[in-house]
Each structure stands twice: as structure tokens, then as C-alpha cells.
Amino acid sequence: MRLTPKELLFLFAIGAAGGLVGDAGNVQSGVTRYLDDSVPFIWESALWFPLLVGLATAATGELRLRLAPPRPGFDLRQGLGAIAAVVGIYALTSIVGDDGTESVALLAALAVLTACVLADGRAAIICGLAAAIGGPLAEIAIVELEWSEYSASNDRLLGVALWLIPLYFAFGVAVARIAEVLVARRQPSRS
Amino acid sequence: MRLTPKELLFLFAIGAAGGLVGDAGNVQSGVTRYLDDSVPFIWESALWFPLLVGLATAATGELRLRLAPPRPGFDLRQGLGAIAAVVGIYALTSIVGDDGTESVALLAALAVLTACVLADGRAAIICGLAAAIGGPLAEIAIVELEWSEYSASNDRLLGVALWLIPLYFAFGVAVARIAEVLVARRQPSRS
Amino acid sequence: MRLTPKELLFLFAIGAAGGLVGDAGNVQSGVTRYLDDSVPFIWESALWFPLLVGLATAATGELRLRLAPPRPGFDLRQGLGAIAAVVGIYALTSIVGDDGTESVALLAALAVLTACVLADGRAAIICGLAAAIGGPLAEIAIVELEWSEYSASNDRLLGVALWLIPLYFAFGVAVARIAEVLVARRQPSRS
């Protein structure tokens, strides 16, 4: 492991917390609905949801560090900004109302802007692409298992929302940046 | 006073103007409603509203300069960007439709991003927190006085909108930056 | 010509492609409607629409280079970010729902932020203003010719949407930046 247990736990925690906030928005606005009420719930989410998002966050951070050395220089603003960008984009998926052309275009534009600001190059983009492929596939599996479903106006990607692709891409790129900031924090630069 | 009368007047003017634009959006979209029609109105706002926002803007700028020395270097882009950020976030409060989880999460994310770009540290954050506490308290008092009211889908914070907290936080941080730019403008850097 | 044929073709192509995406959003969300079905269509757009946007993009890029020397230093992020900013703002015009005060204020704020990040000064601003005047005038002419129309809630500017002004301003400023990046790409800086 390139990340310490403490750093992995931190990534798990912010991933789980961010997942809970975003999912509460999706559930309350009717974008998604849990079909299996037999599992324990936290806020609006089935317990397994924040766990999965937390694990994906820790795994993506670890992936980033195995791909290339992180940039030096601790910058709290970049870390906080990365978290805020993903929380904001996730919240926006509950507001746009559907996964039509304009919604997907807006969210894709925001995902690209997130990468333009945060990505260091190939390594961050790979993290973004891995999340953009793996995330929607996992959600399609969850829908196939009938654990949850997307609303009829948000199911253009094999039953899940098409905007999951830009949402997860932004997630992957942002987590890559957070992992860099965590490593830089071990020895803060004196600049 | 750390700001000159002219600078205070400028802050008052842009605060009042920005307040009029944002409030017109809130009133026209039905987010807020004035209950007392006996006072004079400007555009959609009771006269006292832009006056209060203008005073709060000047006071927040003065507070910023008493907390810490401003950063040197005149940067018109930072000043214009700070104004645009708050006008945009204020306008968005009329568009999101309610103060539910997704709306508050989106506006909180934008407020954090605003701080990540504009804040110099402790001094700007204190301005943001002062506004985030004082602003909603003032609005709660106004609603209690029955001068105006928030719609039923925008009243989760003791009768006012929960998103007032991130809106005012962004306002405080942005005004702190504008105050810095105003001081730097006295002697533009030659860089 | 300050731009090579290949660069002009590239600007034409991204302009036409961006126009198709944005227009598909406008048509699908009911913001605009084509009245003349006798012409060929691509996706949701009459053939002449992406052609006009492509030509305007190439012309704006050429205008930028005739106004002032471009900044050196190739920065792919600035070019991609400029494209994403305009695609995102264009998509947002389909989501805000009307051209009321709050919608125009939000889009104007985003146009100003785009300029604060991308513009190099006078030359980019002139490109933005030229587009902000020429674009809406062309659209008013198209509506007068009864080739297309704007919905009743998006026609406050002589029959077209008032938010066309900030949309085209952002377009002009972004294309100016893309033209700079294209020239800088001829001889990438080694920084």
C-alpha cells in the first residue's frame, strides 16, 4: 500500500460521507429509489451504498499513487476544492431533472473543467476513466439485482443515468488529487 | 476606518446593486415575498433591502481590513470574479427550487469553491463565518417582523431558506477579497 | 489569414460540434423550435445552424489574432477548459427554464467568470463583445425570417432569449483563448 492505513481510512470516510449526501439528494428528488427495504439504512441510503463509495474512494486513491509519483506541495485548497467539486456535481444530478442531452452535456462540461483544474495528466485521467467505467457498471449490476432503480427519466444507460459517466469521471480525477494532497501533507512544503 | 469613504461607498453601491438583482430573482421566482407594501420599492425590493445589503457589504469589507493586512497586487479579475461568483450563487438560489438536501449541497459546494479560489486564509474565513451567522439571523428577524416571508419549500431554517448559510458565507469571503483588491488598487503593483 | 487552413478547419469543426450539442439541448427542452422542415437536419438542428456556428467560430478566432499577438505557452487545459465552459453554459440555457432575471443573472455571472479566467485583456473582450452583439442580431434575423422561434418564456430580446447575450459573450472570449492555444501549439513551450 502506498497510502497509510490512516490515509485510506480518511479517504473511505470522506467517500462514504459524500456518498450519503449525494444519495440523499438523489433519493429525495426521486432520481433513485431503493427497492430492498430489508437492509439497514443510514439517512436515505441502504448501508451498503456508503460502504461501496468509501471503498471505491480508498481504492481510487491507492490506484493514483501506484500509477505515478504525486505532485509535491501541500495545498489544502486543492483538496477541499476537489471534495466540493464532486459533492456539487453529485448534487446537480438531483437538480437537472433527467439525463437528457442538456443535462449530460452540462455534467460532462463540469467533469472536463474539474479535470482541467485538478488533473496532473495521465495518472489522474486513468483514475477518472477507471471510475467512469467501473462506477456505472457497478450501478447497472445493482439495478439488475433489483436493489435499487433509477427513475424513468434517468435510465438511458442500460437502466441507470447516462450522467453517471461524467459524475464518476469527476470523482476519479478528484480522488486522485486528494490522494496527492494527502501524501504532500506528510511533509508540508515550506513555500 | 481602514477603507476610504470612496471605497466604502463603492462597496455599498455594488452590494446594493447585487442585492437588487438577486432579490428580483427571488421575488420573481416566488422564493420570497414582501408582506408590507407600505414602504417604497425599487425594482422588486423594499427600499430597506438594498440599503441593508449595501451596509453589510461595506461593513464586511472594513472588517476584513481590521483582521489582517490585505494581499498586495491589484488584480481586476479577482475583484470582478468575486462579484460574479456571489451574483451567480444568489441567482442560483432562485433556480434550484427549494432548500432541500441537493440544493443546499450544491450551494455549499459552490461556497467552498469560492473560498478555495478567493480566500487568503483566516481573515477571509472569519468574514465568511460572520456573514453566514449574521445574515441568516437578520433575515430570521425580518421574517419574524412579518416584513417578508420565504415560500413553504424554502423555509427550513426557522422560516428562512437553509441555503442562506452558504450564500452569505460566499458573500463574506467574496467581499473580503474585493476589499483587498480595492486597497491594492491604491498603488497598483507593476508586475 | 493569421490562422492556417488546418487551424481554421479545426475551429469550424469544434464550433459546429458544440453548436449541435447545445442546439439539441435547446430543441429537446423546447427552448427553440425549427419552423422550416424543408431543409436537411443533423441530429436536432437544421443543417445551416452548425455551419453558421462553425463559421462564426473560425471568424472569431481569426479576429482575435488580428487584434493582438497571442500569449505564448501551449496549455491544453486552457483550450479544453474554454470548450467545456461554453458547452456547459450553452447546456445550462436549456435547464434554467426561461430568460427571467435569475436565469440571465446566473448566465451573465458565468460569462464574466469565463472572461476572468480566460481573457488576456482588450483583445479577448472585443471578441466577446463582437459575438455578444453579432450573435443575437443573427438570431433575431433568423426568427424574423421564420426559420425558427424561441418559446414564449425565452423571447425577451426582440423574440430571442435575453441570455443569448452572455452566452455569445462567453463564446467569443473562449474562442479567442482557443485561437491563442492553437498558435502556441505550433511551437510548444518547453516549460
Q: What is the pLDDT of residues C109-166, one digit of tens each?
A: 999 999 999 999 999 999 999 999 999 999 999 999 999 999 999 999 999 999 999 9
Phi/psi of residue A32, nearest 5 degrees? -125, 160
H helix runs in chain C, sequence order: 5-28, 48-67, 76-95, 101-118, 122-144, 164-186
> Which secondary-structure segment (H or E) carries A96?
none
Contact call for A106 and C92, based on CB within 8 A = yes
Q: Per-residue pLDDT tens for A20-46?
A: 999 999 999 999 999 998 999 999 999
pLDDT number for residue C188: 55
Q: Is the pLDDT of residue A96 over 70?
A: yes
What secondary structure letter does DSSP report for C69? Answer: P
Secondary structure (DSSP) of A115-184: HHHH--SHHHHHHHHHHHHHHHHHHHHHHHTTSEEE-TTS-TBTTB-TTHHHHHHHHHHHHHHHHHHHHH
Residue of chain B nearest C121, judged by CA positions: B77
Q: Chain B: nearest CA to A86, how far in angstroms?
A: 8
Q: Is B42 on the interface with C (CB under 8 A)?
A: no
pLDDT number for residue A67: 98
Q: Are B28 and C101 in contact (CB under 8 A)?
A: yes
What's CA C72's distance to the chain center, in Å? 24
Residues paired with residue C41 on neighbouring β-strands, in sequence order: C46
Cell of A164: 453517471
Q: Chain B: nearest CA to A1, how far in angstroms?
A: 30
Cell of C149: 422561434
Q: For residue C108, list chain B residues with Cβ-Cβ distance below 8 A.
A: 84, 87
Q: Is the pLDDT of residue A188 over 80?
A: no
* pLDDT per residue rounded down to tens, chain B (191 residues): 899 999 999 999 999 999 999 999 999 999 999 999 899 999 999 999 999 999 999 999 999 999 999 999 999 999 999 999 999 999 999 999 999 999 999 999 999 999 999 999 999 999 999 999 999 999 999 999 999 999 999 999 999 999 999 999 999 999 999 999 999 999 755 54
Q: Chain B: nearest CA to C82, how far in angstroms?
A: 16
pLDDT-based confidence at residue C56 (cuts at 50, 70, 90): very high
Contact call for C113 and B88, based on CB within 8 A = yes
Q: List the subunits that have 3+ CB pairs under 8 angstroms with B.
A: A, C
Instruction: Compute how many other C-beta atoms are within 10 angstroms of the C-beta atom of residue C107.
Output: 27
Average model confidence (pLDDT) for chain C? 96
pLDDT-based confidence at residue C191 (cuts at 50, 70, 90): very low
Q: Residue C70, CB half-sphere, CA atoms under 13 Å: how many?
A: 27
Q: Is the pLDDT of residue A190 over 80?
A: no
pLDDT number for residue A1: 86
Residues paired with residue C42 on neighbouring β-strands, in sequence order: C45
Contact call for C106 and B84, based on CB within 8 A = no
Quote the CA–CA distance of A145 and A138 in Å, as a whole number: 11
Which 61-120 residues of chain B touch chain A by CB within 8 A?
Answer: 96-97, 100-103, 105-106, 108-110, 112-113, 116-117
What's CA A14's distance to the chain center, in Å? 10
Instruction: Compute how many other C-beta atoms are within 10 angstroms of the C-beta atom of residue C188.
Output: 12
Cβ burial, residue B138 (10 Å; 0-12/13-18/19+): middle
Taken as a whole, chain B contains a residue count of 191
CA A56-A57-A63 angle, to 5 degrees, is 85
Q: Chain C: nearest CA to B181, how far in angstroms?
A: 14
Which 116-145 residues of chain C touch chain B by CB within 8 A?
Answer: 116-117
Quote the CA–CA distance of B173 and B124 in Å, as a whole number: 5
Predicted complex ipTM? 0.96
Quote the CA–CA distance of B3 and A32 in Å, as a whole number: 51
Residues 6+ positions from C137 with CB-CB distance below 8 Å: none
Residues 6+ positions from C71 with CB-CB distance below 8 Å: C120, C180, C184
Cell of A5: 492505513
Average model confidence (pLDDT) for chain A? 96
Q: For residue A80, list chain B residues with Cβ-Cβ distance below 8 A.
A: 112, 116
Q: For residue C162, list chain B residues with Cβ-Cβ distance below 8 A.
A: none
What's CA C123's distance to the chain center, in Å? 16
Q: List the subunits that have 3+ CB pairs under 8 angstroms with C.
A: A, B
Q: Chain A: nearest CA to B47, how far in angstroms?
A: 33
